[in-house]
Structure 1
Amino acid sequence: MSIANIPEIYLNNKASEPDLFVYDFKMTNDVVKSKVNLGMNMFSFLQIGKKQIHFPGNSVAVNKDQSLLLKKGNWLWTELLETEEIYYCKLLFFSQDRIKEFLAKNCKKQQSAESSLPYFIIGNDDYIISYLNSLSEIGKLPNSLKQNLLSTKFDELLLYLINKYGSAFEKYLHSLILKEVSPFKKIVEAKLHFNLKLEEIAFLCNMSLSTFKRKFISEYGTSPGKWIQSQRLNKAKEALENKEVKPSDIYLDYGYNNLSNFSTAFKNKFGCSPSEI
C-alpha cells in the first residue's frame, strides 16, 4: 500500500508549502486504512460521510456532526460513504510557525500538554457551519487577498474554539508545538485490539516492517506474531469469563477470520474451547 503525503499531493507548487492552506476533499468510494503521512497540523471538517483514524496508541471515529483537529504524523485513515454517494470534508492545514505565532499573541500563559491526545473532536455547531461557508467564499478571491483573510479567519476559529472548549483546547494547541516522543511498547500494546496487520502497526511506529520486527524481538524476546496472538487470546478469555460476549461476537476483533480458527487457537492455548468458558 502506498503512502499519501498530505498536504503535498494537494499543492500546485510542490516546492512551496504555505503556512495556511485550504483544500476541499471529495471522493465517491470507500477508502479503508490508507497510509497517510500528515506533514502539517490539520483541521478536518467532516460534512458528509464517516471517518476513522488510527494513531500511535489511540484511534477515533467521527461522523458528519463532528470534525477533528489532527496533529501531524503517520496515521491510518478510513473514510466511508453513508447514504449519499459522495464523501466530503474541508481540510484546513496550518504550519508550526503559524500556531506558535497565534499562541504567542493570544495565550500568554504556558499550558501543560502532557496528557493531550493526537486529536481534538469538534462539534459542528452553527458557528462552524457558518465558518465553513465563509472559507468557501474566501476561496473565490484573488490569491493575495485570500491569504490575508485566511490568516484572520484562522485566528478567529482558534479564539472561538478556546472560548467554547476552554483550557482543554488551549492545552491541545500547546501540545502541537511540542516534540512528540512515541515509546515503542506504548504504540504496540495500544494496538492489540484493533485487528491491524503487522505492517500497519509498523507504519504507526514510523518503521519499515523488517525494522519493526527486529525492534520487537529486542523489546519482547519473541516474534511479534506469536506475542500478539497470545495477548489477544488472553484478552478474549478475559472478556468471555466476564460474560460480556459470546465467541461468535469477538473472533474478528481478536484477529481471526472465522470462528473455527479462533476456537482452535483458543483451545491450543487454554485447553478448552471458548464456548466452555
Structure 2
Amino acid sequence: MQSKILSCHLGPEISPEHFISEHFFMYLIEGSITAYDGKDTYTVHPGEITIARKNHFVRYTKHSVNNVFRKVIIAFDKPFLEYFLERHPVESIASENTGAFITLPDTPRISNYIQSLEPYYTGDLEIEAGFEDIKREELMLILLKAEPWLANVFFNFAMPQKIDLEAFMHRNFRFNVSLDRFAFMTGRSLSSFKRDFLKVFGTTPGKWLTAKRLEEAHFLIKNTGARPGEVYNDLGFEDFSHFSFAFRKHFGVTPTEVI
C-alpha cells in the first residue's frame, strides 16, 4: 500500500455509536480496531478487509499508531442497494454467517480499487461529489464477484424477526441505545416491547437496564479489580457523575468504596 493513500469515507463516518444502522466496508491502512458485539470480540489489523453488518449492536475502540489512524470506510445504505439491484439483479445465496463483522481476504482487485480512490479525494477526505455511487457500485461488483454469498447479506431488507426477549436483553444490556432500538432488534414495536418486557422481567425496561448495569459494575469492581472510571462507559452510562449517583442510590455506597 502506497503511503499517499489517506483516510477517506464514502457515506456516514463511523462513530462509537452502539448500533450499526447501515452496512459498511472498511479497509484499515494504519492503526487497528477492537470491537465487541455482545457475544464475540473482533480485532481488525492494517491491510484487512471487513464488512460491518447493519442491525447489530457493537462497541469498538480505535487504536492509533503514533497518533495516526487511517482507514477507508464506504457505506452501503438501503437507497444505494436498491439502486444497485435495479442495475445488477443478483440472486441471494444462502449464508450461515450472522456475526456483526465479516472478514474478507484481500485480492488484487480490492487493492487496486483502494488505490483508485486517491484521485477522487476532496480536502475533507470524502469522495468528490458525482463519483460517490460510481465508486460504490464498482466496489460492490468487486465484492460480489469475489464472494457471491455476500448478496444474502447486503440485499436482505427484511425486518428482524421476533426473538427471545430474555436471552437478547441479557446479552445486550451493556449497550447504550434507545428503547426503540431494543424493540426493533427484537422484532417488536415499542409498545409490544414494553408489554412483553413487563411479562418477562416484571418491571419496566428502564428500571431493569439500570439495575442490571449497576449490578454488573459492582461485580466487576469488587471481583475483577476494574476501576469505576473504566467500567461506567462500557456499561451504558454516559457520564461518571450519573453512574456514581445511581450506584450509591442502589447499593448505599459509592463505587470507590467497593474497591
The residue aligned with 1:25 is: 10
The 1:126/1:276 distance shift into structure 2, 3 A limit, reads farther
Alignment partner of 2:49 out of 58, 62, 67: 67
The CA deviation at 1:87 is: 7.6
- Distance in 2, matches of 1:258 and 1:155, equals 43
Any gaps of 5 or more consecutive residues in structure 2?
Answer: 1-8, 119-130
User: Which consecutive unaligned segments of at least 5 residues does structure 1 have?
Assistant: 1-23, 104-110, 160-169
Contact 1:66 1:123 in 2 (8 A): yes
Partners of 1:229 and 1:121 lie apart in 2 by 34
Cα distance, 1:52 vs structure 2: 9.3
- Give yes or no for the alignment of 1:250 onto 2:231: yes
Give the length in aligned residue pairs. 220
Aligned partner of 1:236 in structure 2 is 217
Shifted more, 211-220 versus 172-181: the winner is: 172-181
Once the two structures are TM-superposed, the CA of residue 132 in structure 1 deviates from its matched residue by 5.0
Within 5 A, what are the aligned runs for 1:175-194? 182-194=163-175
Deviations 1:36-88 (A, max 9, x none): 665xxx561446799899978678685764433355x535689999989x985
Shift of the 125–197 alpha-carbon distance from structure 1 to 2, 3 Å rule, reads: same
Inter-CA distance 273–117: structure 2 relative to 1 (3 Å threshold): same
How far, CA to CA, are the matches of 1:43 and 1:97 in structure 2?
19
Q: Secondary structure at the match of 1:128?
A: helix
Equivalence for 1:3: none
- Per-residue CA deviation, residues 10-35 of structure 1 (Å, 9 max, x unaligned), is xxxxxxxxxxxxxx8246x6756497
Whole-angstrom CA distance in 1 between matches of 2:48 and 2:217: 32
Q: Determine if the alignment matches structure 1 residue 121 to structure 2 residue 103.
A: yes
TM-score normalised over the length of structure 1? 0.53
1:98 paired residue number: 91
Partner of 2:122: none
Give the distance between the partners of 1:196 and 1:63, measured in 2 at CA: 27
Instruction: Give SS of 1:203's match.
Output: helix
1:199 partner letter: D
Identity of aligned residues (%): 20
Q: Which structure shows the bigger proportion of residues in strand conformation?
A: 1
Residue 158 of structure 1: aligned partner: 147
Tell me how far apart the structure 2 counterparts of residues 259 and 274 of structure 1 sit (CA, whole Å): 10
The residue correspondences of 1:106-145 to structure 2 (distance < 5 A) are: 113=96, 116-122=98-104, 124=106, 128-130=110-112, 132=114
Q: Which amino acid aligns with 2:49?
A: S
State the superposition RMSD in angstroms. 5.1
Structure 2 distance, partners of 1:30, 1:91, is: 9
- Distance change in 2, residues 1:220/1:156 (3 Å): same
Letter in 2 for 1:98: E
